[in-house]
Amino acid sequence: MALYSEKVMDHFRNPRNVGVIEDANGIGEVGNAKCGDIMKMYLKIENDIVQDVKFETFGCGSAIASSSMATELIKGQPLSEVRKLTNKAVAEALDGLPAYKMHCSVLAEEAIQSALEDYERRKQSGE
């Protein structure tokens, strides 16, 4: 039996939306190298819609796949939808993760929420 679902392996082998957005207006980074997983999300939000999203991840196969899937789930979505994104939705979209890898999907949710918070902070301070 394979460790991961076909979908996890697909997103791990061919991650979507990898990289950096130079003029991102919301950036979130979660996790730490000590635990072995760090995710960084870059959002470009216009008119309350995620126009573009990119990620960088240091981590295992499921961390990379979770980041990739999370970006797919929010790209082009209104912020009202993005705020509702849960780790469960990420894991389900990947056809499930092994129990001890669920924290990777949690990290993906947190990275996106952290980038959203950064966006809202910048908006409030009028950047």
Q: Which residues bind other proteins (CB under 8 A)?
A: 9, 12-13, 15, 18-20, 29, 33-40, 55-61, 63-64, 100-101
Respond yes or no: is residue 60 known to be catalytic. no
Catalytic residue of the set 21, 43, 104, 115: 104
Q: Smallest gap, in angstroms, from Cβ of residue 113 to other proteins?
A: 17
Our CB check for other proteins shows the closer of 18 and 49 to be 18
Q: What does each C-alpha distance from 69 to 30, 32, 89, 120, 125 come to in angstroms?
A: 17, 20, 10, 23, 31
CA distance 68 to 53: 10
Catalytic residue of the set 6, 14, 35, 117: 35
Respond yes or no: is residue 35 known to be catalytic. yes
> Please, what's the b/e burial string for 8-22 (b: 16 or more CB within 10 A of its CB; e: otherwise)?
bbbbbeebbbeeebe
CB-facing half-sphere around the CA of 119: CA atoms within 13 A: 24
Our CB check for other proteins shows the closer of 79 and 101 to be 101
Q: Smallest gap, in angstroms, from Cβ of residue 60 to other proteins?
A: 4
Locus of tokens 């990739």: 68
Which residues are tagged catalytic?
35, 104
